Amino acid sequence: MMARRFTITAVVFGALLLILPAAAAGAERGEAAGRNDTLLMFVGEELDVLSIASRRQESAWQAPAVARVITREEIRERGIRTASQALEMEPGFYLAKKEWGSQPYLRGIPDSVLFLYDTVPMGSDVSKSLHPLDQELSLAPIKRIEILRGPGSVLWGPDAFAGIVNVVPLTGKDLDGAEAGLLYGTPGRRGSFYANAGHDAGLWDAFFSVSGRQDAGNADYNVVRFWGDGREAVPPEERYARQRTADSRALEVSGRLNYRDWFTFSGLVSDYKRPYTLSRTAGDFIWGESRSAPFGFLKLEAKRNLDRSSALRFTGSYSWLNPEYEIIDRTLKQKERTAYGELIYDRSFLSGRGLFTGGLSYRNKAITDAPIWDGYLPGYLGPDNRNLLPGITTKDYNAALWSLFGQYSHKVGSVDLWMGLRSDVHDEYSNRLSYNVGAVWAPEPEWRMKLLYGVAYRTPFARQLLEEGRPDSEEIQTINLQVAWKPSPEAGLSLCGFISRIDKHILEDPYAGLSLPNRQNIRGVELEGRFSPVRSLEIAANVTLVDNDGPNETYHWNDFNFVRPDGTVVKHFTDLVYPYDRGPGTLANLMTTWRPLERLSTFLRLGYFSSRNLIFPRSTEIRSVPGVWLLDAATTVRDVGLPGLDLEASVRNLLDRDYETPGTYSLIKGDPATLWVGLRMRW
């Protein structure tokens, strides 16, 4: 392991040594380019700003990461309603549609992204697939979505594995006034509303938002009772009937108060419930479930400038997550509480050519009633089982994490070099080191070359904490090489190749348990570009190709037990072997935005994902579905009748393509053509 890491690090530093002579030769030209880039940022050129690459404001073009920003204008013009819809248009991302929502894949790795809201983590330590990507998170108060593709554990800690997504809310300086909106969707009864209000008073500013959504239930199921008194299953003759899922709903409130650059207080409260149905592979038994996970946080940020070249920043937050699952006629509840504190020191050196960011953080996470299954639920639902129930145990734990981290960047001519290191000391799982090194070379103002190497890890599953003393963590090592060309604000092209190696890879199935640790090697290419042939027309496209190799996933499954004459219970095990699920190997998007008039814009997107497999433990076969092309469209008309009144319409799956996609245990229908019409008013 150490030899392999040394070899990879040596390759990266060797490449840097090849870059440095060219950088020194072009130092004067690079310094002029740097001055030009800085000027562009301050005069307001079309450079997207993000903060997650190095914990300071910078453009995605210059950032030490493969980065991208989705702006509020893009969200509006493209008819984007959810974070999942925004991400599926980006290179590397595949949003798998499941019965309960969207499961994110990034660069062929499922559930591998650290999702942040205003830099506060939104995910769960118990379930890796619990992400607020759909109607449970409103985009109405959002200013931008920041995306980083590649490991980010050095500055963001555990679970910044294959990438980071940070949802940035509006402030009172962004919206000095009010706006409100109403939207209606079909098929079914779908509706949403929101209201935003902001005020900029100079020394201080404030922002407040409230939003809600509701969708009509439209799925039927036939298993309506099962768990009974919790000791024996309901008899088959009382188990089956026909019912329809209830409506789904969501309500969200958020706000922010800022005083100068000294301190900021912000918060979010969201509550939602989403009913859905699941079915066995054969489709004979369908049962109802629902997922609800009220979540929220309170956050305080403070900053003090020590002198002209250094500053001290503090961030403290308290967040909560209360997942609740209704499975037929039983409800499982759990709680997660996280207290977090962080102190960061920034300092610039050598007239700004050197920048250091270092910090110390503490996180305490308390989890109550994490569910751990012992049994395969679909196998119990048939009439051949009269009274047996699958076992469910729960686990409570309280985990503390201390972290010390630092990152230093230095400019040498036209090259920015940096390296970072983080040490995490945890009282429940093994201590870890994360690190990164890299370079950004600008041989000309319109060119950027980024060479990046990073190591990150993600936290173990709750079941690992139950079954092992101090479990080790899944680790990823990734090399990125990106070449980007931006000859003007109206055109750009980027090619990024990446290689990732995952060690100690483990998956958890709710019923089959944990897979045995293995490794995966993942390679891919991301190509993206945009071009404006005329001022009113913008064309953008991206293509992602992903491939992998490595051992199959193996689950050591306890299929049955028997009792010896002396009363000893003996467990019998069998191995369940399945291929690694990387999602589709090819992703593509072709998008056009046309603004024929100042008040009118239209958007078209042709998206493609290649074949996908239905893979889950206990299945007897691997089922595959072909790739599919889907067409989306959106139109916005501004100042309709009244100044500030906008009319919006968007259609997903415009051609109403009929296709299947892998669900949890069976193939499910893809979403049909869906129309949304809305009105927005600004004051």
Q: pLDDT digit string (tens) for 284-316?
A: 899 999 999 899 999 999 999 999 899 999 999
> Which structure tokens are listed for 316?
């403290």
Closest to 381 measured CA to CA, from 220, 222, 584: 222
What's the confidence (pLDDT) of residue 611? 96
Q: Can you tell me the distance from the alpha carbon of 443 to that of 452, in angstroms, rounded to the nearest whole number?
A: 17
Mean predicted confidence (pLDDT) in 265-281:
93
- Percent of the chain that is helix, strand, coil (3-state, to 5): 10, 60, 30
Mean predicted confidence (pLDDT) in 313-324:
95
Among 118-132, 193-207, 450-464, name the most confident range.
193-207
pLDDT band of residue 47 (cuts 50, 70, 90) is: low
The amino acid sitting at 117 is: Y
Reported pTM:
0.90
Residue 372 above 80 pLDDT?
Answer: no
What's the confidence (pLDDT) of residue 32? 37
> Cα-flanking dihedrals φ and ψ of residue 558, to 5°?
-80, 90
Q: Can you tell me the distance from the alpha carbon of 500 to that of 223, in angstroms, rounded to the nearest whole number?
A: 43
Provide, rounded to the nearest whole percent, the portion of the chain with pLDDT above 70.
91
Is it true that the peptide bond before 187 is cis, omega within 30 degrees of 0?
yes
Neighbours of 643 (CB within 10 A): 10
The 3-state DSSP class for residue 237 equals: helix
Asked if 147 and 165 touch (Cβ cutoff 8 Å), the reply is: yes
Closest to 540 measured CA to CA, from 84, 77, 143: 77
Q: Can you tell me the distance from the alpha carbon of 7 to that of 14, in angstroms, rounded to the nearest whole number?
A: 10
What's the confidence (pLDDT) of residue 446? 95
pLDDT in tens, 409-425: 999 999 999 999 999 99
What does the buried/exposed string (b/e) look like for 508-546 if buried means 16 or more CB atoms within 10 Å of the residue's CB? bbbbbbbbeebebebbbebbbbbeeeeeeebebbbbbbb
Q: Can you tell me the distance from the alpha carbon of 155 to that of 157, in angstroms, rounded to the nearest whole number?
A: 6
The 3-state DSSP class for residue 409 equals: strand
What's the confidence (pLDDT) of residue 563? 78
2-682: what fold? Maltoporin; Chain A (2.40.170)
